Amino acid sequence: MKTSFNTVAIIGKFMNADALHKMQADLVNLARHLQSHHLAVYVEENTAQHAQINGFDTVPLSDVGDKADLAIVMGGDGTMLSVGRSLINANVPLVGINRGRFGFLTDLRAEDMLPSIDRILAGDFIEESRMLLATQVFRKGKLCHSGYALNDVVIKSGLRLIELEVDIDQKFVYKQRSDGLILTTPTGTTAYALSAGGPILHPNLEAITLVPICPHTLSNRPITVNSDSKIEVTLVQFDEAQLSIDGQFNVTLEVGDVIKVQRADKNITLLHLSDYCYFDMLRNKLNWG
């Protein structure tokens, strides 16, 4: 990982114009501060448009990997999830400034952002690699959807119980009736999977966790498997169901659909200040004593 950066892209909560308007001053201050360090600065084009930021070069999110060697994301965890998926093919490390609620992924405080960014520019950081899940939906043997998840892939009923079959590495695991199933990376174990009773996995683990949502049989418990595992979920019976990727992209499912989930062949890299501690973060965010 580089310890010096020449070109920085700034990405705000580009999906939400109202939120961008509220953080306009912070985005402009950050861009000017980076320029004072003699860095080339790009503002993601939707961020610049919705926040009405002028006077800086802009770049589409899809081209950030070609233009910048560091991306600073200002928003919440949802923004980081979306940016992380979009930049999966770009070897660009991400730094998150929290302007959301939790900040599990965007861990720099907005009020401390300039001195924190100065520390990172000076090389005072640690890097952390986060795995993603590659997801494919097959309908009648044909691929009808594919995507990547940094947090989780959720198969969920819209009305009543859903019946599904799970195979791991071509071995039958169980047939389950429940409200759905969450397949999560270690990153996603502090999201929906945690609310559904799943375990918290440290992000440096190489694992995938399967968490049933309100299973009809209480003996159906969360299980964790090696990240090399190939998981297939077949939709057997339901009235209505959909697949959700990171809670941001939904696909309507049909009976007989097969969802294949496995580790993606690329990771994303997050940068934290050198004194960052995952357990401190958990204690603060989850209000542990």
Q: Which residues are catalytic?
A: 77
Interatomic CA distance for residues 204 and 193, integer angstroms: 17
Other CB atoms within a 10 A radius of the CB of residue 65 amount to 18
Q: Residue 163 to residues 166, 179, 253: CA-CA distances in angstroms?
A: 10, 9, 13
Beta-carbon contacts of 206 under 8 Å, excluding residues fewer than 6 positions away, are: 131, 226, 227, 228, 263
Interatomic CA distance for residues 51 and 174, integer angstroms: 49
Using DSSP, state whether 73 is helix, strand or coil: strand
Q: 203, 219 in Cβ contact below 8 A?
A: no
Q: Residue 203 to residues 109, 200, 209, 278: CA-CA distances in angstroms?
A: 21, 9, 12, 9
